[in-house]
Amino acid sequence: MINHFTRTILTILVLSVILVACNSSDGTPENPTPEYTDLPTETPLPTETLSPTATSNPPMVLFIASPDGESVQFDELQSTLSELSAAKGYQFQVHSRLTPEELTPEVKIAVVLPPDPGLASLAASAPQTQFVGINIQGLEPTDNLSAIGPEGASPDQLGFLAGYIAAVITSDWRVGVISTSDSGAGVGSRNGFLNGAIFFCGLCNPAYPPYYSYPTFVEMNSAATPAEWQLAADMLKNNFVETVFVPPSANGEELLTYLAGLEINIIASSRPPETIRQNWVATLSSDASAALEQIWPDLTAGNGGFRLPLALKIGEVNNDLLSPGRQRLAEQIRLDLQNGFIDTGIDLLSGDNQ
């Protein structure tokens, strides 16, 4: 028989075996610490690396024009350049002068009005920029320098077109021009006007009195005072002139307002003052915008070296004085002058008749 002591020992051994088997049959704890090796390790979010071109400024277009320049040409070019630049996503800025320091790598195109800031040397120093000089006489194109109207405006063509329009709209051809006598441009405008009127009306003899010779002209020295210009206007009024051309050499708001006060209709090369629009026939000006638009795709592609003439433009038309039908006649004359089908008969250097 198993005595009490042996039974106790056997009981303790059995309980010990059972406890060891329950706690760890394979040596692994009952509640192991969780492991995270199955979860993906955290990685930093990718950061965008900008290329050098993404952080640089967009290409830029500069328009260089003196604040004292001709307002019609300035306004039209500024509007044209602003629209062309916006369409390409370029910045657009207007400066009164151009220096080498302003020609940063972002400047893709620079359009310059007179006076010449030294475009030839600026173009040589900044080959990344396409330069366009407008109405800068004697400018010679290079690979990155283009010239629009380097021969200057054509006062004879301007006067011819004005004379034709004046004769078309005025009864009995009672037309005249106020010009300057001491410049080739003034003389060319005057003789061009006379030839343009005669081109339309021939002998231009009035059918009804008073009988004066038309077309007529009055001219002053370019240094004439406002009072002297008004005297010239009075002379035209005394000769019963109904339509007058005022070329750029004689232009001035005070004179234009005085002519309108005399009930004379006006053709000029400036924008009409609001107070005299009822007497304003049309504005005749040089049109550089058309030539600029023509070469714009090449300029933005980095190609230059163009040479184009300045065309004429008829704007600010008063339809009560220059009807649409007569506008079509004037427009045909403008195109014929531009394309060389009509010779004004004027020597370009002296302004005299050939």
Q: Could you read off the pLDDT of 304-313 as tens digits, one per residue?
A: 999 998 889 9
**Whether residue 206 sits in one domain with residue 124:** no
**Whether residue 332 sits in one domain with residue 239:** yes
**What pLDDT was estimated at residue 29?**
47
Whether residue 321 lies inside any domain: the answer is yes
At residue 18 the predicted structure's pLDDT band, cuts being 50, 70 and 90, is low
What pLDDT, in 10s, does the model give residues 216-274? 999 999 889 999 999 999 999 999 999 999 998 787 889 999 999 999 999 998 889 99
Whether residue 249 lies inside any domain: the answer is yes
**What pLDDT was estimated at residue 137?**
84
- Whether the per-residue pLDDT at 348 is higher than 60: the answer is yes
Whether residue 309 lies inside any domain: the answer is no
**Whether residue 187 sits in one domain with residue 127:** no
**Whether residue 129 sits in one domain with residue 77:** yes
**What pLDDT was estimated at residue 71?**
66
**Whether residue 168 sits in one domain with residue 130:** no
Whether residue 276 lies inside any domain: the answer is no
The neighbour count for residue 102, using CB atoms within 10 Å, is: 16
pTM beyond cutoff 0.95:
no
Q: Domain boundary residue among 148, 178, 193?
A: 148
- Whether the per-residue pLDDT at 277 is higher than 60: the answer is yes
Whether residue 278 lies inside any domain: the answer is no
**Whether residue 330 sits in one domain with residue 182:** yes
At residue 57 the predicted structure's pLDDT band, cuts being 50, 70 and 90, is confident
Whether residue 354 lies inside any domain: the answer is no
Range of the domain at 226: 155-271+316-338
Residue range 194-201: average pLDDT?
A: 96
- Whether the per-residue pLDDT at 25 is higher than 50: the answer is no
Q: Domain boundary residue among 130, 148, 166?
A: 148
CATH number at residue 117: 3.40.50.2300
- Whether the per-residue pLDDT at 94 is higher than 80: the answer is yes
User: What value does the mean pLDDT of the chain take?
Assistant: 85
**Whether residue 327 sits in one domain with residue 194:** yes
Whether residue 34 lies inside any domain: the answer is no
In this structure, what DSSP letter does residue 173 have? G
**Residues contacting residue 338 through CB under 8 Å, at least 6 positions apart:** 157, 309, 311, 312
At residue 184 the predicted structure's pLDDT band, cuts being 50, 70 and 90, is confident
At residue 70 the predicted structure's pLDDT band, cuts being 50, 70 and 90, is low
Instruction: Please state, for a pLDDT cut of 90, what percent of the chain lies above it.
Output: 61
**Whether residue 244 sits in one domain with residue 323:** yes
**What pLDDT was estimated at residue 134?**
93
**Whether residue 159 sits in one domain with residue 136:** no
**What pLDDT was estimated at residue 251?**
74
Whether residue 113 lies inside any domain: the answer is yes
Residue range 152-174: average pLDDT?
A: 93
**Whether residue 205 sits in one domain with residue 250:** yes
- Whether the per-residue pLDDT at 6 is higher than 60: the answer is no
Residue range 213-218: average pLDDT?
A: 96
Give the count of domains, the chain. 2
Residue range 313-330: average pLDDT?
A: 95
Q: Domain boundary residue among 148, 168, 184?
A: 148
**What pLDDT was estimated at residue 34?**
47
- Whether the per-residue pLDDT at 50 is higher than 50: the answer is no
Does residue 318 sit in helix, strand or coil?
coil
- Whether the per-residue pLDDT at 52 is higher than 60: the answer is no
Does residue 312 sit in helix, strand or coil?
strand
**Whether residue 85 sits in one domain with residue 63:** yes
**What pLDDT was estimated at residue 349?**
65
Q: Could you list the beta-strand ranges (E) of the chain.
A: 60-64, 91-95, 107-112, 130-134, 145-148, 175-180, 216-220, 243-246, 265-268, 280-287, 307-308, 311-315
pLDDT: which is higher, 70 or 35: 70
Instruction: Please name every residue paired with 280 in a beta bridge, in sequence order, or none if there are none.
Output: 266
Q: What is the edge-to-edge ordering of all strands in the sheet holding 107-112? A: 91-95, 60-64, 107-112, 130-134, 145-148, 307-308
State which of 33-42, 178-187, 235-244 shows the largest mean pLDDT.
235-244
**Whether residue 330 sits in one domain with residue 193:** yes
